[in-house]
């Protein structure tokens, strides 16, 4: 991975939502579940370098925590497209989640852009402790139907 790409990635790990070549972002929760943004310890990232098409995976702590693992080359995930920005950050997605009748905590939170006809934005996927999967548009903030219950 080129050094400037790593610098760009590191600069965008905090509150920003501009991230060149982001494929996915999955929350690591402090206690196995979360109720608030402060319960997110960090993120597992998959990024794609545009020039080479190579994908990398690494972990980065959510500020104020610090730390980052070394990026490792991985096979690029199928069915997911790279994107460079989104408007709804994870804190806002959590606020939207709490407005729904899906429980007060979640066990998973992932952001990715499905490569499928008609999908026009990346989405946050939040799995609640009640088995509900909430899908929120990461640009529009729109909650997608249906909300799945197990």
pLDDT per residue over 96-133, tens digit each?
999 998 889 999 999 999 999 999 999 999 999 988 99
pLDDT at 20 over 50: yes
Look at residue 78 in the predicted model and tell me its pLDDT: 95
Query: Distance between CA 76 and CA 135 in Å, rounded?
Result: 23
Q: Where are the alpha helices (DSSP H) in 99-143?
A: none
Average pLDDT over residues 7-16: 51
Look at residue 51 in the predicted model and tell me its pLDDT: 82
Of the candidates 138, 115, 139, 111, the one whose C-alpha atom is nearest the C-alpha of residue 125 is 111
Band (pLDDT 50/70/90 cuts) for residue 19 is low
Beta-carbon contacts of residue 10 (< 8 Å; ≥ 6 apart): 60, 68
Kindly report the backbone phi and psi dihedral angles of residue 92, in degrees, each rounded to the nearest multiple of 5, phi listed first.
Answer: -70, -40
First to last CA, the chain: 40
If you ran DSSP here, which 8-state letter would residue 34 be given?
Answer: B
Rounded-to-5 percentages of helix, strand, coil across the chain: 15, 40, 45
Query: Distance between CA 142 and CA 150 in Å, rounded?
Result: 22
Look at residue 14 in the predicted model and tell me its pLDDT: 46
Average pLDDT over residues 73-88: 95
Band (pLDDT 50/70/90 cuts) for residue 95 is very high
pLDDT at 12 over 70: no
Look at residue 2 in the predicted model and tell me its pLDDT: 44
Look at residue 16 in the predicted model and tell me its pLDDT: 44
Look at residue 80 in the predicted model and tell me its pLDDT: 96
pLDDT at 66 over 70: yes
């Amino acid at each position: 991975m080129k050094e400037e790409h790593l610098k760009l990635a590191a600069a965008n790990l905090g509150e920003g939502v501009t991230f060149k070549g982001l494929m996915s972002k999955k929350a690591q929760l402090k206690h196995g579940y979360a109720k608030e943004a402060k319960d997110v310890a960090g993120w597992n990232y998959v990024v794609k370098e545009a020039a080479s098409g190579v994908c990398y995976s690494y972990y980065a702590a959510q500020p104020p925590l610090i730390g980052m693992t070394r990026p490792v080359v991985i096979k690029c995930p199928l069915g997911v497209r790279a994107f460079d920005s989104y408007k709804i950050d994870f804190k806002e997605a959590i606020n939207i989640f709490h407005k729904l009748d899906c429980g007060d905590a979640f066990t998973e939170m992932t952001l990715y852009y499905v490569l499928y006809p008609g999908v026009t934005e990346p989405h946050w996927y939040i799995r609640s402790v009640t088995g509900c999967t909430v899908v929120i548009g990461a640009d529009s903030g729109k909650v997608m139907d249906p909300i799945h219950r197990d």
